[in-house]
A = this chain, B = another copy of it.
């Protein structure tokens, strides 16, 4: 098999940087070098040391060091430690801030007005600082980070999302935001931190080991990073890893689960050890340990109550996502507001902070919603072992205890809990739309726990002696309902099951495992039918390039085929294309990759060429032309130089005018600059070459030369393209017309594709990109904008077929952020 020529063009079919070396020799060389990079490095090191005598132990140490640095476990440990440190330090600072807030508040107890000012100004300052910092230094640090991480893990490159600056800014501003007691969480940012730390560590480790130059591997390590982040945040290794898998991936490699878990365990060990060394804990314990009874955790008759709670939480979760989306859309809709926000978004954040602080002001409305409690304190109180609705219990709460927040002379526990749930619900939905680092997990968790406590207290009131069995009485434990409620509502919003595992690890008790799982699953079923998850909703709102998941209940999707939704009108280049064709294609289309077919008649797909490559081809051609012109000019100039010299010497002797204008108009330089300009990349691809030429003819001195050139150039553009030095990817991903949507979707997810060619016995007949696939999956969604489905929508339209291809033009997309998305 003669493969000499084609070998030069071998290019990896995926576009990872390290694999695009065009020359085989070079490739071979690189392969062998990197194979034993460690030992070679040692040799080089030894050589570098030159005459100095070699120390075997030093060499040996270095060898061990280098091989260790390439080992996964070193990376995973470092990752775990760094995230544990971030998590621990953050907790310390947040505690400091909230403590200082309480201290100032109590200091000014003499005067209510002063107290109010203290109450609102402290968070306001923190908030303004956080928002200002984010806006000015790293706008990428705002928001949860889970949506962006999800996109990055799909292989999309998002600029500035994985830099040290973003990490530092996000850590500092998240501390401030959480210190200001806004009802937002830190789990989303921690997924982002995980990815950030992993990316930065990869960069750092690549100094020591070549293994870290493999992009595919680094992407895998990023996945592990996400898992560790959330694990360290909740001290929940298994739950954290599963949660990060569920929210960021559709397909997952078991080895990444492995890596994530290992790193998470190590990180959490450090995280909890730090807590012990800091004297916060006696020994390693769960973050919110519960002490419910072990013998008879729950009666079978309580199961329906747990199930109903799960269903209600499902509706609640969908409502939360809907509300959050509506708020985000409303804010973007207001044109006046938008202009204001773009410049002063941190003032908006401040206003929201003041508004929320005012409502939670403990002597004010806050007394009806336990306003003085931080999220942590409220969670601890919800998981309390006592039954508050029982007579005399609430009255016994000590004023110094944070449980006393639920004690009110007029209102009973039910009212306070209801107000708490209602107020926190919209406050959280509002807060997470702010342009600050903010997660939605923890606030929703708190709301769910409050709702669960409410249900639990209700059950305890209805059945004061619990459900009697033959031999014993087992009263109802409202704290357990809080646990179930928290898990179920969070599941409803995030569309994950692993919240159940996180809950179990967070409370350190698994006896309620089954009720939690049942509630979580029911909540998921309801909310998945009504709304996308909060992260997908944000992805759509931000118009990030995404591919919706094929739910596990949509069997009608299995009957669509690629032939039904592919684009048949494909732009392509052929082996016989001219430079003019290339120019035309570059100007009219926006495709990042162009299929190369053998000829217009055969349409046999040979591979694809990247847009950048085509640009390079044209540049090379331009360069070639320029050289030819230069050559000709040089020849011509040798003839004309004397004439010119004579002329300019005449002028300089005749007047005091500087020689520059004359020089400028000299045919040599003029044409030279002009040609360079003409063939500059900008003109070639952004403007019209011909019009540029005509415009440039203001100086008509060498009109004739230019016109000649233009003609000659036209001929040159009609030359056939020489693809010899062009990198062609010879194995683009191909589908056939009969590939089902389900399979195509799987492929796109598995291989992180953004397009695939549809062929029929080697003949190109169409193309499917992410966009077509998305349209096919979603049907009712427009290709540009977002149509938030009203809650209950899926129950209304359950009779209609799901695969209608009318792309309803929603007006909403016009109102959305006009920033160019990466699609």
Listed residue (A209, A286, A518, A738) with the most chain B CB atoms within 10 angstroms of its CB? A738
A614 to B283, CA, bound (A): 71
- Chain B residues with CB under 8 Å of A762's CB are 598, 604-607, 730, 762
8 smallest A-B Cβ distances: which pairs? A731-B734, A211-B555, A6-B760, A730-B761, A606-B762, A255-B552, A12-B738, A510-B510
**In the complex, A422 has a CB within 8 A of chain B:** no
* Chain A stretch 252-281: residues in CB contact (< 8 A) with chain B: 252-255, 257-259, 261-262, 265, 268-269, 272-273, 276
A31 to B731, CA, bound (A): 30
CB distance from A505 to the nearest CB of B (A): 7
CB distance from A553 to the nearest CB of B (A): 5
A261 to B729, CA, bound (A): 41
**Which one, A87-95, A290-298, A585-593, A789-797, is touching chain B?**
A290-298
Contact among B7, B72, B297, B734 with A760 in the assembled complex (CB-CB below 8 Å): B7
Knowing A740-B19, A750-B750, the reply to whether A297 touches B282 (Cβ < 8 A) is no
Known: A72-B553, A510-B510, A604-B604. 18 other contacts (CB 8 A): A9-B761, A24-B737, A72-B552, A211-B558, A238-B517, A250-B253, A252-B253, A261-B521, A273-B300, A283-B296, A284-B298, A291-B294, A294-B508, A504-B510, A605-B762, A607-B762, A730-B763, A762-B762
Contact A517 B237 (CB under 8 A): yes
Count contacts on A: residues with CB < 8 A to the other chain.
Answer: 124
9 contacts between A and B (CB under 8 A): A6-B760, A10-B760, A217-B558, A255-B551, A268-B514, A291-B294, A508-B513, A604-B762, A747-B751
- Chain B residues with CB under 8 Å of A209's CB are 555
Contact B300 A283 (CB under 8 A): yes
- Chain B residues with CB under 8 Å of A731's CB are 734-736, 759
**In the complex, A717 has a CB within 8 A of chain B:** no
- Chain B residues with CB under 8 Å of A509's CB are 294, 509-510
**In the complex, A36 has a CB within 8 A of chain B:** yes
**In the complex, A469 has a CB within 8 A of chain B:** yes
- Chain B residues with CB under 8 Å of A251's CB are 251-254, 750
CB distance from A527 to the nearest CB of B (A): 13
A742 to B70, CA, bound (A): 16
Contact among B261, B269, B760 with A3 in the assembled complex (CB-CB below 8 Å): B760
Knowing A217-B742, A606-B761, the reply to whether A559 touches B31 (Cβ < 8 A) is yes
Proximity bits, A203-239, B CB within 8 Å = 1, else 0? 0000001010010110000000000000000000110
* Chain A stretch 11-39: residues in CB contact (< 8 A) with chain B: 11-14, 19, 21, 24, 27, 31, 34-36
* Chain A stretch 171-218: residues in CB contact (< 8 A) with chain B: 209, 211, 214, 216-217
Listed residue (A269, A284, A285) with the most chain B CB atoms within 10 angstroms of its CB? A284
Contact B521 A265 (CB under 8 A): yes
A787 to B132, CA, bound (A): 64
Contact A743 B14 (CB under 8 A): yes
Contact B284 A514 (CB under 8 A): yes
CB distance from A204 to the nearest CB of B (A): 16
- Chain B residues with CB under 8 Å of A56's CB are none
**In the complex, A468 has a CB within 8 A of chain B:** no
* Chain A stretch 720-763: residues in CB contact (< 8 A) with chain B: 728-731, 734-740, 742-743, 746-747, 750-751, 759-763
A7 to B738, CA, bound (A): 10
Cβ-closest chain B residue relative to A509: B510
- Chain B residues with CB under 8 Å of A677's CB are none
Contact A73 B553 (CB under 8 A): yes
Cβ-closest chain B residue relative to A291: B294
**In the complex, A71 has a CB within 8 A of chain B:** yes
Contact A730 B760 (CB under 8 A): yes
Cβ-closest chain B residue relative to A35: B559
**In the complex, A299 has a CB within 8 A of chain B:** yes
- Chain B residues with CB under 8 Å of A11's CB are 736, 738
Knowing A283-B297, A734-B731, the reply to whether A763 touches B521 (Cβ < 8 A) is no
CB distance from A657 to the nearest CB of B (A): 60
A367 to B497, CA, bound (A): 47
- Chain B residues with CB under 8 Å of A761's CB are 6, 9, 606-607, 728, 730
A568 to B1, CA, bound (A): 9
A552 to B253, CA, bound (A): 11
**In the complex, A603 has a CB within 8 A of chain B:** yes
Cβ-closest chain B residue relative to A554: B72
CB distance from A312 to the nearest CB of B (A): 19
**In the complex, A405 has a CB within 8 A of chain B:** no
Knowing A12-B736, A555-B70, A762-B607, the reply to whether A283 touches B298 (Cβ < 8 A) is yes
**In the complex, A548 has a CB within 8 A of chain B:** no
Cβ-closest chain B residue relative to A472: B282
CB distance from A588 to the nearest CB of B (A): 19
Contact B249 A254 (CB under 8 A): yes
**In the complex, A642 has a CB within 8 A of chain B:** no
